[in-house]
Homo-oligomer: A and B are copies of this chain.
Amino acid sequence: MKSIEVIDGKVALHEAEMPLVGPYDILIKVKSTAVNRADLMQKKGLYPPPPGASEILGLECSGIVDAVGKKVTSRRVGDEVCALLAGGGYAEYVACPEFQAIPKPTNLNWEEASSLPEVYATCWLNLFIEGNLTNNNKVLFHAGASGIGTAGIQLCKAFNCESFVTAGNEEKIKYCMNLGASGGAVRGDKMFSEVQSWVPEGFDIILDPVGANYFEDNLKMLGLEGRLIIIGLMGGMEANINLGHLMMKRQRIIGSTIRARSEELKKIVMNELHEKVWPFIESNQIKPVIHEVLDISETEKAHQIMEDNQNIGKLVLSLG
């Protein structure tokens, strides 16, 4: 089969072995996949796949079930699905545990459907399961115009919470406000004081892909019993912390990744997405946000767009 492989830090199409399909796995003929920041890190050798996962890039896809393992009960050959993957999405075929695939929303095309699994699973896990998001909570998304941010804003709106964002430029802020964010601040010296002016009592949840550079300010922006959920380290790892503040405000700092989590947990997340989020998608209340669809042969170009922080929403790679 064709797949994208990394050679000397660059990606290109190559021939690869077909994936092995275990007894609890399904084989998906991939129609479309999408880019995640983790792919850029993996390409640089900074984010090795978890044990047992494919070496091929790609954490999500849409496609058609092509074969099923002997013990598979929930999927059949011919099913149209979207799947959360531990790797291997940048390829003609990918295998994954059956419960990581859920039906493709009927109103979406393949490209749209492939843009959903990773960002909605990440948001669902972190906002609802780790962060215990509840009605009327106030949430801050850094990188509000990213795939995660644009998914998070829409989830907050759907579940009666208010969201606020930071982002790299005015165009991105505007986009986020149109999607449903109540406020947005452009990255820079005044960003955090602006953020604080909207929610002086502090946020209930901050979903943060930045890490060290924002850490102390994030904790200041967090309210009583607030949760700071760290899902990325674009701004470094080493930071200072004031434990007195953390204790008196009864705050939580939660380190979170989804890729290395158990199949058990991924099954829970995907089931909840299917039950609780897919209805909003199928009624067009939540929409995929796609910056651009490129052909899989243009993967390097898609990566460059993300490296340059040019995208609003997802970069999708179509397998045609």
Residue A254 is within 8 A (CB to CB) of chain B in the complex:
yes
**A47 nearest in chain B by CB position:** B248
CB <8 Å contact, A247 and B239: no
Residues of B contacting A212 with CB < 8 Å? 243
Question: Given the complex of chains A and B, what is the CA–CA distance between A244 and B250 in angstroms?
Answer: 22
Residue A257 is within 8 A (CB to CB) of chain B in the complex:
yes
Residue A146 is within 8 A (CB to CB) of chain B in the complex:
no
Question: Given the complex of chains A and B, what is the CA–CA distance between A238 and B249 in angstroms?
Answer: 16
Residue A230 is within 8 A (CB to CB) of chain B in the complex:
yes
How far in angstroms is the closest Cβ of chain B from A26? Answer: 27
Residues of B contacting A244 with CB < 8 Å? 211, 233, 237
CB <8 Å contact, B256 and A255: no
Question: Given the complex of chains A and B, what is the CA–CA distance between A237 and B244 in angstroms?
Answer: 5
Question: Given the complex of chains A and B, what is the CA–CA distance between A261 and B244 in angstroms?
Answer: 16
How far in angstroms is the closest Cβ of chain B from A216? Answer: 10
Q: Which of B211, B246, B261 contacts A255 (CB 8 A)?
A: B246
CB <8 Å contact, B243 and A250: no
Residues of B contacting A257 with CB < 8 Å? 247-248, 250
Residues of B contacting A233 with CB < 8 Å? 243-244, 247
Question: Given the complex of chains A and B, what is the CA–CA distance between A241 and B218 in angstroms?
Answer: 14
Residue A163 is within 8 A (CB to CB) of chain B in the complex:
no
The A220-276 residues at the B interface (CB cut-off 8 A) are: 230-233, 236-257, 260-261
CB <8 Å contact, A242 and B246: no
The A141-199 residues at the B interface (CB cut-off 8 A) are: none
How far in angstroms is the closest Cβ of chain B from A217? Answer: 14
How far in angstroms is the closest Cβ of chain B from A41? Answer: 12
Question: Given the complex of chains A and B, what is the CA–CA distance between A117 and B202 in angstroms?
Answer: 32
CB <8 Å contact, A237 and B230: no
With A239-B240, A239-B241, A240-B238 as known contacts, state yes or no: A253 contacts B246, CB within 8 Å: yes
**A232 nearest in chain B by CB position:** B247
Residues of B contacting A203 with CB < 8 Å? none
Question: Given the complex of chains A and B, what is the CA–CA distance between A254 and B246 in angstroms?
Answer: 8
Question: Given the complex of chains A and B, what is the CA–CA distance between A276 and B242 in angstroms?
Answer: 35
How far in angstroms is the closest Cβ of chain B from A220? Answer: 14
Residue A110 is within 8 A (CB to CB) of chain B in the complex:
no
Choose among A231, A232, A233, A253 the residue with the greatest number of B CB atoms under 10 Å from its CB.
A253
Residues of B contacting A256 with CB < 8 Å? 247, 250
Q: Assuming A211-B244, A247-B257, what are 17 further A-B pairs, CB within 8 angstroms?
A: A215-B241, A230-B243, A231-B247, A232-B247, A237-B242, A237-B244, A238-B242, A239-B241, A241-B241, A246-B253, A246-B255, A249-B255, A250-B255, A250-B256, A251-B255, A252-B253, A253-B253
A-B pairs with lowest CB-CB distance, top 7:
A246-B255, A237-B244, A247-B255, A253-B253, A211-B243, A237-B243, A241-B241
20 contacts between A and B (CB under 8 A): A211-B244, A211-B247, A215-B243, A230-B243, A233-B243, A233-B244, A237-B243, A238-B241, A239-B240, A239-B241, A239-B243, A245-B255, A246-B255, A247-B256, A247-B257, A248-B255, A248-B257, A250-B256, A251-B255, A252-B254
